[in-house]
A and B are shown apart, each in its own frame.
Chain A
Amino acid sequence: EAQVTQNPRYLITVTGKKLTVTCSQNMNHEYMSWYRQDPGLGLRQIYYSMNVEVTDKGDVPEGYKVSRKEKRNFPLILESPSPNQTSLYFCASRGADRVYGELFFGEGSRLTVL
């Protein structure tokens, strides 16, 4: 089954404690992206990756890091989480077609930073 898998789905942590949210896709997609969803603001892009070892900042990259060492995986790293990073996070992937771009989303990771 084609899917994007995120872990953990739910996490409560404390300010400053490094955490990683993993994302894996089994569709051989070149493009992967992280979004955060906040009430009234919709989806905002954090980072994206066009392919292995190619990453770039989205609209709200501050406080986040990513890596793309393998095509299927795109982890999101919060080196020193702060309460304003409490949010619902989505990983998404799409194929290489530059024009038509259906995004396939994971189920989301709800993060609370105390």
Chain B
Amino acid sequence: GEDVEQSLFLSVREGDSSVINCTYTDSSSTYLYWYKQEPGAGLQLLTYIFSNMDMKQDQRLTVLLNKKDKHLSLRIADTQTGDSAIYFCARGGGFKTIFGAGTRLFVKA
């Protein structure tokens, strides 16, 4: 995506926390999303945050939004091998969704 950037790889040990980071340049989006892509499958919405929120927690997932720095992060607590996937940051603007390149999360047992 032209204005959504994220690192391409992250490796963590099973049981540790994973933090996937994303930056974007266009601050007009109302919603920001995290999608998960498991091997051989399409993307599925994992969680989202409304742009007037700073944080959203959903079980093991915590999303932090720093609007000033245009920085979005996804924290996965107690990472499991089943969390191994590609995670895409995305921002919504009207009917257009802009995706980052995806962060491949490797979980070592």
Contact residues of A with B, CB < 8 Å?
4, 31, 35, 40-45, 48, 50, 59, 90, 92, 94, 98-103, 105-108
User: Which 10 pairs between the two chains have the least Cβ-Cβ distance?
Assistant: A105-B42, A42-B101, A43-B99, A105-B43, A101-B92, A102-B45, A107-B42, A42-B99, A99-B30, A42-B102
Min distance, Cβ B24 to any Cβ of chain A, angstroms = 13
Given contacts A4-B42, A103-B43, contact A98 B94 (CB under 8 A): yes
Contact residues of B with A, CB < 8 Å?
1-2, 8, 30-31, 33, 35, 40-45, 48, 88, 92, 94-97, 99-102
Cα(A106)–Cα(B41), bound, Å: 8
**Of A31, A43, A50, A107, which is within 8 A of B1 by CB?**
A43
> Are the C-beta atoms of B95 and A107 separated by less than 8 Å?
no
> Are the C-beta atoms of A90 and B92 separated by less than 8 Å?
no
Cα(A8)–Cα(B81), bound, Å: 30
Min distance, Cβ B82 to any Cβ of chain A, angstroms = 18
Could you give 25 example pairs across A and B, Cβ below 8 Å? Answer: A31-B95, A40-B8, A40-B101, A42-B88, A42-B99, A42-B101, A43-B88, A43-B102, A44-B1, A45-B96, A50-B95, A59-B2, A98-B95, A99-B31, A99-B92, A100-B30, A100-B31, A101-B92, A102-B33, A103-B45, A103-B97, A105-B44, A107-B41, A107-B42, A108-B40
Cα(A99)–Cα(B52), bound, Å: 13
> Are the C-beta atoms of B45 and A90 separated by less than 8 Å?
no
Cα(A31)–Cα(B100), bound, Å: 21
Chain B minimum-CB-distance residue to A6? B42
**Which chain B positions have C-beta within 8 A of A44?**
1
Cα(A98)–Cα(B31), bound, Å: 11
Cα(A45)–Cα(B2), bound, Å: 11
Chain B minimum-CB-distance residue to A101? B92
Chain B minimum-CB-distance residue to A103? B97
Chain B minimum-CB-distance residue to A108? B42
Cα(A94)–Cα(B31), bound, Å: 14
